[in-house]
Amino acid sequence: MTWLRTCFLLCIVLFAGCASTDSLRSAQGKGEKRTYAVSYERAWNVIPYAISETGGKVKDRNFQSGYIIAEYGITWTSLGERVAVFVQRKSTSEGKGTSEVEVEVVSGEGFTLSATNRTAQIFATFDRQLRP
């Protein structure tokens, strides 16, 4: 019986550490940011690709607000992880016809034993797709 209680408490502690979708949506400004000289639409279209390439699945998205929430499943070294990717228009140079966007990745890690850095993986995909 004590073993069962211990397992139950361990599960509660582990799952309490997982980030909720609402907490990730409100975490804008707390992640790593990079600026790309592309249109908002171009950056937006790369996000699902970057998430799937890194092993995640899109769980929630809002084009007007500029966020996508992704979820990475349970593995041998992790009880799952959630990540938010935000895209924000930075500027438009009217004379040059160029625009910039700021991409921010916020990782709301759950319980994990691995050293996987989802933020770095997602930005590596962005760099390959959006940098000249």
CATH number at residue 58: 3.30.310.80
Q: Is residue 10 part of a domain?
A: no
Q: Is residue 88 part of a domain?
A: yes
pLDDT-based confidence at residue 118 (cuts at 50, 70, 90): confident
> What is residue 17's three-state secondary structure?
coil
Q: How many domains in the chain?
A: 1
Q: Is residue 65 part of a domain?
A: yes
Mean pLDDT of 22-33: 80
Q: Is residue 7 part of a domain?
A: no
Contact of 27 with 109, CB cutoff 8 Å: no
Name the token pair of 119.
Answer: 């933020």
How far is it, in rounded angstroms, from Cα 97 to Cα 82? 36
Q: Is residue 42 part of a domain?
A: yes
Q: Is residue 54 part of a domain?
A: yes
Q: Is residue 6 part of a domain?
A: no
Three-state SS string over 42-72 comes to HHHHHHHHHHHHCCCEEEEEECCCCEEEEEE
- Structural domain boundaries, residue 100: 18-130
pLDDT digits (tens, 9 = 90+) for 65-105: 999 999 988 766 666 788 999 999 986 656 566 689 999 99
